[in-house]
């Protein structure tokens, strides 16, 4: 995709988010847009940046670091959204502002220990396996509270909320169900006194369902940058 078409796609997505906020009685501006640039070159990130985009998501560390190195002086907010290997937490702790895919306490503790002292706390979402798929990353719903308590106690992390990648569903009503469950889990955390504000949910194919159910941040790749080819890490973090 060229610069003009990325800028055009971003406009379309922003308009669509505005429309959906209004259709589902969401506060205007309450749904943030993360542009998922995985597998796309730094030039594509640059083009989206020039069109005003600031939040970018990456799911594969090496692919991400190449782009971070290529774009050193931009005020981009980088989000890590992919599976995390415990021996690769350091660059994530050092170079990202958000991590959406924390699903076990070992990873949380390592990110906390490795977050540089001069950086603000790392924003963290717990990834929940809402569809109960065996191959999917994410903590089981019944373990969310326990992991949230662990993260809350780590001073270099700031627990922001929950993230999920539900399995594909046939229609809007069916797509809404797992998102509604995630929203209920966030309410449970709030009720237990945790200061959480983020539901990271919604991709190109299920953005409407996610916004209907309270998403505060949609993660959009294909609709902005076009289809991804080849690389296996271009797929979602799991069976998608
Ligand atoms: C790839 C990916 C997305 C974006 O998916 P699209 O369908 O291209 O919008 C969102 N979230 C995660 C975790 C991903 O891996």
Q: What is the 3-state secondary structure (H, E, C) of 103-153?
A: CCHHHHHHHHHHCCCCCCCEEEEEEECCCCCCCCCCECHHHHHHHHHHHHC
Q: Is the CB of 237 under 6 A from ligand 1?
A: yes
Atom from ligand 1 closest to the CA of residue 207: 9
Q: Residue 220 Cα, ligand 1 centroid: separation in angstroms?
A: 6
Name the closest-CA residue to atom 13, ligand 1.
81
Per-residue pLDDT of the chain (240 residues; tens, 9 = 90+): 677 899 999 999 999 999 999 999 999 999 999 999 999 999 999 999 999 999 999 999 999 999 999 999 999 999 999 999 999 999 999 999 999 999 999 999 999 999 999 999 999 999 999 988 776 789 999 999 999 999 999 999 999 999 999 999 999 999 999 999 999 999 999 999 999 999 999 999 999 999 999 999 999 999 999 999 864 454 444 433
**pTM over 0.85, yes/no:** yes
Q: Residue 193 Cα, ligand 1 centroid: separation in angstroms?
A: 31
């Amino acid at each position: 995709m060229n610069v003009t078409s990325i800028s055009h796609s971003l406009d379309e997505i922003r308009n669509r988010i505005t429309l959906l906020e209004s259709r589902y009685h969401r506060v205007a501006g309450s749904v943030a847009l993360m542009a998922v640039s995985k597998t796309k070159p730094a030039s594509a990130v640059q083009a989206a940046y020039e069109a005003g985009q600031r939040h970018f998501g990456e799911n594969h560390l090496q692919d991400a670091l190449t782009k971070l190195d290529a774009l050193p002086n931009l005020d981009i907010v980088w989000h890590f959204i992919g599976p995390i290997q415990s021996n690769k937490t350091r660059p994530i702790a050092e170079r990202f502002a958000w991590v959406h895919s924390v699903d076990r306490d070992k990873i949380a503790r390592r990110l906390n220990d490795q977050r540089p002292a001069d950086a603000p706390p790392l924003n963290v979402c717990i990834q929940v396996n809402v569809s109960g798929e065996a191959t999917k990353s994410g903590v089981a719903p019944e373990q969310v509270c326990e992991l949230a308590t662990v993260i809350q106690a780590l001073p270099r992390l700031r627990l922001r909320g929950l993230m999920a990648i539900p399995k594909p569903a046939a229609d809007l009503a069916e797509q809404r169900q797992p998102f509604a469950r995630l929203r209920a889990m966030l309410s449970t955390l709030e009720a237990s006194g945790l200061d959480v504000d983020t539901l990271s949910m919604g991709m190109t194919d299920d953005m409407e369902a996610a916004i209907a159910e309270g998403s505060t941040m949609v993660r959009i790749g294909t609709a902005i940058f076009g289809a991804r080819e080849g690389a296996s890490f271009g797929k979602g973090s799991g069976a998608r």
